[in-house]
Amino acid sequence: MVTAGVYLICRSAPIYDLTQDGRTVVTVVGALTLLLGCVIGCAKDDIKRVLAWSTVSQIGYMFLAAGLGKGAYAIAILHLLTHGFFKAGLFLGAGSVMHGMNDQVDMRRFGGLRTVMPVTFWTMMAGYLAIIGMIPFSGFFSKDKIIEAAFDKGGTSGWVLGLCALIGAGITAFYMTRLMVLTFFGPKRWTDDVHPHESPAVMTVPMVLLALGSVGAGGLLVFGGALQNWLAPAVGPPEEAGVHTISPNVLTLITLLVVIGGVAGAWYAFGRREIPVVAPAQVSAPVTAARKNLYADAFNEAVLMRPGQWLTRLSVWFDNRGVDGIVNGSAALIGGSSGRLRRVQTGFVRSYALTMLGGSVAVIAALLAVKLG
């Protein structure tokens, strides 16, 4: 559902090609999303939440590419397709780990699973290498092109977007390495009620097939400009290579070094020391912010949800006291007045005669007053 937005923007390429402001909004949202997803993913201990926030980050990459305009729409679709292979494999792998760990999701309670779940380990390893953009796995071909296209945008905005994408690649390598280390390496931190085992073939066979896609899908789609040419009727023909801000070969080398740096940093932080089974309560401010989703939920609650609640309550009060008050008040006025006027009609002849007499006296008195005056 969320990736449908990427498809919608790319399918609407003729419209976005006419508005630079629209493309700028898309690229800014994409750059911020990929960084937010990366940072938050670093602080999660739930294996599914780490992968969920990595999905947020990867969708940010797709939107960044889609917002770059001509020549980059196909790259956004390319990353959408390669992401489908390696992220599906990673999520199935996480499900396999949960199956073997009695439905536990806390990575701090894992460790040492590569020996008892070898198929799960190697298939997830393929997805891991693909998502961090390691050559020659599928994620490398799409993510590397997104970073290149961002720098090629030119000017200050190109450098900012390119650096955001490059930094995101390093952080992705960090938190995904953390996931792999906490889950499959190090000492066993299992609880007494779990007995890890490899999943049955009904689970492992799809994981193996997705692992194959994680390895080769990107190269097959890129080879000979196959995907770009196939999408040309919808998004326009691929642009001819012009002057690059940074040489593609140099940029690829820089990206790989950044990714290797993220892997090394995570291994140094989590692979060389004992991991506490309970997350430390006293942590730095950045870690606290990441655990709380960078206060995005608090911001949405304060800026959107609470004012929305107040507006709803005001609308309900106005509807009850204003709209319904006018309607119900009018009905009460007519009903009360008619009830009181009805008492005049008693049905007794003497009452009507007395009323007629009183009226006649009043008329005669008025005539006399006018005549004598």
The pLDDT of residue 257 is 96
Residue 46, beta-bridge partner list: 106
The pLDDT of residue 242 is 65
Tokens of 307: 């004012």
Share of the chain above pLDDT 70, in %: 97
The pLDDT of residue 93 is 95
Cβ burial, residue 270 (10 Å; 0-12/13-18/19+): buried
pLDDT band at residue 324 using 50, 70 and 90 as cut-offs: confident
Rounded distance between C-alpha atoms, residue 43 and residue 50, angstroms: 8
Tokens of 342: 């009805």
Taking residues 19-24, what's their average pLDDT?
91
The pLDDT of residue 240 is 63
With a cut of 90, say whether residue 38 has pLDDT above it: yes
With a cut of 90, say whether residue 125 has pLDDT above it: yes
The pLDDT of residue 347 is 76
Rounded distance between C-alpha atoms, residue 165 and residue 27, angstroms: 11
Task: Write out pLDDT tens, residues 294-308.
Answer: 888 888 899 989 999
The answer to whether 188 and 111 have CB atoms below 8 angstroms apart is yes
The residue with greater pLDDT, 6 or 228, is 6
With a cut of 80, say whether residue 278 has pLDDT above it: yes
pLDDT band at residue 179 using 50, 70 and 90 as cut-offs: very high
The pLDDT of residue 274 is 84
Phi-psi region of 69 (alpha: psi -120 to 50; beta: other; left: phi over 0): left
With a cut of 90, say whether residue 50 has pLDDT above it: yes
Q: CB neighbours of 271 closer than 8 A, spacing ≥ 6?
A: 181, 185, 186
Taking residues 50-69, what's their average pLDDT?
93
Rounded distance between C-alpha atoms, residue 245 and residue 227, angstroms: 24
Rounded distance between C-alpha atoms, residue 227 and residue 243, angstroms: 23
For the ranges 39-53, 241-255, 318-332, the one whose mean pLDDT is highest: 39-53
The answer to whether 72 and 43 have CB atoms below 8 angstroms apart is no
Taking residues 274-287, what's their average pLDDT?
85
Q: Which residues of 143-168 are buried (b: 16+ CB within 10 A; e: fewer)?
A: bbbbbbbbbbbeeeebeebbebbbbb
The pLDDT of residue 279 is 85
Rounded distance between C-alpha atoms, residue 346 and residue 331, angstroms: 24
The pLDDT of residue 186 is 87
With a cut of 90, say whether residue 282 has pLDDT above it: no
Residue 92: strand, helix, or coil: helix
Task: Write out pLDDT tens, residues 91-112.
Answer: 999 999 999 999 999 999 998 8
pLDDT band at residue 3 using 50, 70 and 90 as cut-offs: confident
The answer to whether 51 and 90 have CB atoms below 8 angstroms apart is yes
The residue with greater pLDDT, 134 or 343, is 134
Report whether the peptide linkage leading into residue 136 is cis, meaning its omega lies within 30 degrees of zero: yes
Phi-psi region of 294 (alpha: psi -120 to 50; beta: other; left: phi over 0): left
What does the mean pLDDT of the chain come to? 89
pLDDT band at residue 339 using 50, 70 and 90 as cut-offs: confident
Rounded distance between C-alpha atoms, residue 34 and residue 40, angstroms: 10
pLDDT band at residue 286 using 50, 70 and 90 as cut-offs: confident
